C-alpha cells in the first residue's frame, strides 16, 4: 500500500496534513500519536469511511477509489475495531457470514462458508468453535472472530485498532503469535496502540503523527519508548514512577460479603477494605462486575445482600450524600456519564455539588462563585480548549478527563471567592477511578496517574479499576483481580506476577 499526500480538513481543523506512507507485504507498521493527532481520520480514509480532500492511495499498484468501503474491502483492506461489532445471540459462523452473501440469494452456502472458515482458521492459527454463540466467548475469542471475519473476506492488509486493550496478558501473547503467522504469509498490518512496549515488540516500523502531520518514521529495532513518547507529544514525558504508599491509615470503606442482582455485571460475595493513603487497583476484563462495584460505591446501585461501611457506618445510598461526605468519582464513560456535553464547562464543574452552600443560596445558583471555581479548576488541572463558558463537548477527550479529575479532586470551601480558598481544600476521603486513562494519549495518562498518586499521598483512599495491566501495576499498592463478579485476595502489587494476574483474569486461580 502506498499513501501519498493525504489531506483532510474539518472546517478550519486540518486533521491530516499531506501524509505519505508506505506499507509493505509481510510488515507490521505501528501508527502512533496523541488523541487528536489524526490516526483515526487516516485509517477511516484508508477504509473508505472518509474521503480525503487531497492525496491518493494505491493498493498493489491500483488506485483505490476514495470514500468507498466496498472498494476498500475488494482491494483486501480489513479493519478490526477496538469495540467489537458482533451479535452475541448468533453463532461464530453466522456472525462471519453476515453481509458476505446477497440478500436475494434463494439459498445459503453454509457448508461452503464453514469449509472456507476452517481453512482460514487453520492457515493462521485462529482456533475458535464455529457453532458457539458469540455471547459465550471470552474477549480474546471474540477478537479472533473479528480477525477471522476480515480474513474470510480476503483481507491482505489488516488495520488493528488497540487490539490488546481488553485482553489478558496470555490472550495478548496469543494474538502476537497469530500476527507473526500472518506477516510470515505475506499479510501487511497497521497496528494502532498506546502500549509502547508492545509496539516495539511486534512492529517492524513505527510512524508517528502529531497535530495531523507525520513527524517521524523509524525502524522499531533500536527505538526506545522514551523516543516514541517524545515524538508523539513534542517533548520528554516523565511517566509516574511506582512508589509505595508512605503512610496507610484507617479503613475508609469496607465491603463485607456484598452481592448485587444477577447477570454478568454483578457482585457475588465481594469483600474488600479501602484504607486512607493507599491505592487499591482492580484488574480484570471489562464486564466481570467492575461497573457494579463502581456504581455501588458511588450510590447508583444497591447491594442485595452484605454490608457496605463508610467511616464505620452504613454507607448512604444517595449519590448527593456521598459527594457531601467526600466520595469522588471518575466514571468509566466520560462522554455519557462524566459530563453533559451541551452544558458549559462551569456548569459541569459544579454539577455534583450544585446544592452546596458554595454554589447556591436560597435556591439560586451563585454563578460568579461557580464560574470562578471552574476557572481555578481549569488552571490547576491544565484543562485546555477554552474558558468556563465553552460547551463541554468542545473539549478533547484528554481535557474532558482533566475536567472530571479536577472536579473530583477539588473539594470547594463553603464559599469559593479566591484562589486561596481553592488551594486550602482537603482531598476527598474516597476516590473511585474507573478506567481513569481510557483512550488518553501518553501525556494525559501520565498527568492523570500522577494526580491520583498525589491524592493518595495526601490521605485519600483510592480505588482504581482498569483494564490496563501496566496501569494497575504502576498505581496499585495492593492489587485485586475481578472475574465473574468475584474478587481474589488483595495482595501487594510486588507479590503479583503478570502471569498470575493474567490467569486470575481468565478465572484460573484463587477467588
**pLDDT digits over 65-98, tens only?**
999 989 999 999 998 887 777 888 889 888 888 8
State the pLDDT confidence band at 108, using cuts at 50, 70 and 90: low
How many CA atoms does the CB half-sphere of 89 hold within 13 Å? 0
- So what's the pLDDT on residue 274? 97
More confident residue, 491 or 239: 491
How far is C-alpha 142 from the geometric centre of its chain's CA atoms? 18
Q: Which residues contact 179 (CB under 8 A, 6 or more apart)?
A: 28, 189, 191, 202
CA 259 to chain CA mean position, Å: 27
Q: Please give the pLDDT value at position 414.
A: 44
Per-residue pLDDT tens digits for 247-292: 899 999 999 999 997 766 789 999 999 999 999 999 988 778 898 9
How far apart CA 57 and CA 338 sit, in angstroms, is 39
- pLDDT one-digit tens code per residue, 36-65: 788 889 999 999 999 999 999 999 999 999
- Average of pLDDT values for 192-201? 89
**Mean pLDDT score, 165-194:** 87
Cα separation, 432 vs 110, in Å, equals 48
Q: What is the pLDDT of residue 424?
A: 36
Supply the DSSP symbol for 351. G
- Output Rg (C-alpha) for the chain, integer angstroms: 24
Residue 320 has pLDDT above 90, yes or no: no
What kind of fold does domain 2-233 have according to CATH?
Rossmann fold (3.40.50)
The pLDDT of residue 425 is 41
Q: What is residue 64's DSSP assignment?
A: P
* pLDDT value of residue 418: 37
Q: Could you tell me the three cell numbers for 360?
A: 447556591
- Pick the residue with more confidence: 200 or 444? 200
Do 501 and 479 contact (CB within 8 A), yes or no? yes
3-state secondary structure of 500: helix
Q: What is the pLDDT of residue 264?
A: 64
Residue 273 confidence (pLDDT): 96
Residue 197 and residue 206 in contact, taking contact as beta carbons nearer than 8 Å? no
**Mean pLDDT along residues 222-236:** 89
Region of poorest pLDDT, from 120-124, 179-183, 247-251, 439-443: 439-443
Residue 80, C-alpha cell as written in the block: 478490526
> How far, in Å, CA of 110 to CA of 160, rounded?
28
Residue 416 has pLDDT above 70, yes or no: no
Q: Which residues contact 217 (CB under 8 A, 6 or more apart)?
A: 21, 205, 206, 207, 208
Q: Which candidate, 326, 20, 32, places its Cα nearest to that of 190?
A: 32
pLDDT in tens, 349-408: 888 887 777 787 887 888 888 888 889 889 888 887 778 898 888 887 778 888 999 888
CA distances from 144 to 121, 147, 175 (A): 9, 5, 8
Work out the percent of the chain whose per-residue pLDDT is above 90. 41
pLDDT tens, residue by residue, 439-488: 777 878 888 899 999 999 999 999 999 988 888 999 999 999 999 899 99
Which pLDDT belongs to residue 231? 92
pLDDT, averaged across the chain: 86
105 pLDDT tier (thresholds 50, 70, 90): low
In contact, 195 and 164? CB cutoff 8 Å: yes
CB atoms within 10 A of CB 108: 11
> What is d(CA 183, CA 26) in angstroms, rounded to the nearest whole number?
4
363 or 331, higher pLDDT: 331
Confidence of residue 113 (pLDDT cuts 50, 70, 90): confident
What pLDDT is recorded for position 488?
93
Domain with CATH 3.40.50.300 in the chain: 2-233, 239-326+428-511
pLDDT tops 90 at residue 187: yes
Q: Which residue has the cell 488483595?
A: 490
Among 395, 389, 356, CA closest to 374: 389
Work out the percent of the chain whose per-residue pLDDT is above 70: 94
CA 25 – CA 156 distance, rounded (Å)? 8
- The per-residue pLDDT for 22 is 94
Query: Which CATH number applies to 239-326+428-511: 3.40.50.300, 3.30.390.30, 3.40.50.2000, 3.40.91.10?
Result: 3.40.50.300
Please give the Cα distance from 474 to 493 (Å, whole number).
9
Asked whether residue 219 carries a pLDDT value surpassing 50, the answer given is yes
- 3-state SS, residue 462: strand
Amino acid at each position: 500500500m502506498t499513501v501519498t499526500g493525504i489531506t483532510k480538513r474539518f472546517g478550519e481543523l486540518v486533521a491530516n496534513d499531506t501524509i505519505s506512507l508506505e506499507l509493505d507485504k509481510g510488515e507490521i507498521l505501528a501508527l502512533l500519536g496523541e488523541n487528536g493527532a489524526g490516526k483515526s481520520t487516516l485509517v477511516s480514509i484508508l477504509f473508505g469511511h472518509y474521503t480525503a480532500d487531497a492525496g491518493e492511495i494505491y493498493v498493489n499498484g491500483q488506485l483505490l477509489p476514495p470514500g468507498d468501503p466496498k472498494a476498500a474491502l475488494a482491494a483486501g483492506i480489513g479493519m478490526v475495531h477496538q469495540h467489537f461489532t458482533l451479535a452475541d445471540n448468533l453463532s461464530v459462523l453466522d456472525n462471519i457470514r453476515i453481509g458476505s452473501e446477497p440478500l436475494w440469494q434463494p439459498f445459503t452456502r453454509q457448508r461452503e462458508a464453514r469449509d472456507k472458515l476452517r481453512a482460514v482458521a487453520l492457515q493462521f492459527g485462529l482456533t475458535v468453535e464455529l457453532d458457539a454463540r458469540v455471547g459465550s466467548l471470552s474477549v480474546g475469542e471474540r477478537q479472533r472472530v473479528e480477525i477471522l471475519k476480515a480474513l474470510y473476506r480476503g483481507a491482505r492488509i489488516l488495520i488493528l485498532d488497540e487490539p490488546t486493550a481488553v485482553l489478558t496478558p496470555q490472550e495478548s501473547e496469543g494474538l502476537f503469535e497469530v500476527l507473526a503467522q500472518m506477516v510470515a504469509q505475506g499479510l501487511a498490518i497497521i497496528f494502532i496502540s498506546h502500549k509502547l512496549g508492545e509496539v516495539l515488540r511486534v512492529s517492524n516500523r513505527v510512524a508517528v503523527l502529531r497535530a495531523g502531520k507525520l513527524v517521524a518514521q523509524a525502524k522499531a529495532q533500536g527505538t526506545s519508548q522514551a523516543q516514541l513518547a517524545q515524538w508523539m507529544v513534542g517533548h520528554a514525558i516523565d511517566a509516574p514512577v511506582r512508589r509505595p504508599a508512605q503512610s496507610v491509615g484507617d479503613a475508609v470503606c469496607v465491603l463485607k460479603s456484598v452481592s448485587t442482582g444477577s447477570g454478568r455485571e454483578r457482585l457475588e460475595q465481594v469483600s474488600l477494605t479501602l484504607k486512607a493513603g493507599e491505592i487499591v487497583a482492580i484488574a480484570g476484563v471489562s464486564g466481570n462486575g467492575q461497573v457494579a462495584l463502581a456504581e455501588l460505591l458511588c450510590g447508583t446501585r444497591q447491594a442485595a445482600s452484605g454490608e457496605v461501611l463508610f467511616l464505620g457506618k452504613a454507607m448512604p445510598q444517595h449519590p448527593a450524600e456521598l459527594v457531601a461526605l467526600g466520595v469522588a468519582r471518575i466514571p468509566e464513560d466520560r462522554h455519557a456519564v462524566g459530563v453533559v456535553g451541551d452544558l458549559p464547562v462551569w456548569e459541569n464543574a459544579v454539577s455534583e455539588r450544585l446544592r452546596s452552600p458554595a454554589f447556591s443560596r436560597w435556591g439560586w445558583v451563585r454563578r460568579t462563585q461557580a464560574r470562578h471555581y471552574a476557572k481555578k479548576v481549569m488552571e490547576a488541572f491544565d484543562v485546555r480548549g477554552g474558558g468556563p463558558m465553552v460547551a463541554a463537548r468542545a473539549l478533547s477527550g484528554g481535557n474532558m478527563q482533566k475536567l472530571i479529575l479536577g472536579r473530583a479532586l477539588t473539594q470547594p470551601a463553603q464559599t469559593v471567592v479566591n484562589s486561596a480558598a481553592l488551594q486550602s481544600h482537603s482531598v476527598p476521603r474516597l476516590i473511585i477511578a474507573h478506567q481513569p486513562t481510557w483512550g488518553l494519549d501518553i501525556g494525559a495518562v501520565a498527568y492523570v496517574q500522577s494526580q491520583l498518586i498525589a491524592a493518595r499521598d495526601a490521605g485519600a483512599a483510592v480505588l482504581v479499576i482498569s483494564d490496563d495491566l501496566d496501569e494497575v501495576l504502576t498505581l496499585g499498592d495492593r492489587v485485586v483481580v475481578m472475574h465473574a463478579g468475584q474478587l481474589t485476595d488483595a495482595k501487594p502489587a510486588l507479590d503479583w506476577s503478570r502471569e498470575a494476574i493474567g490467569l486470575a483474569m481468565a478465572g484460573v486461580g484463587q477467588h
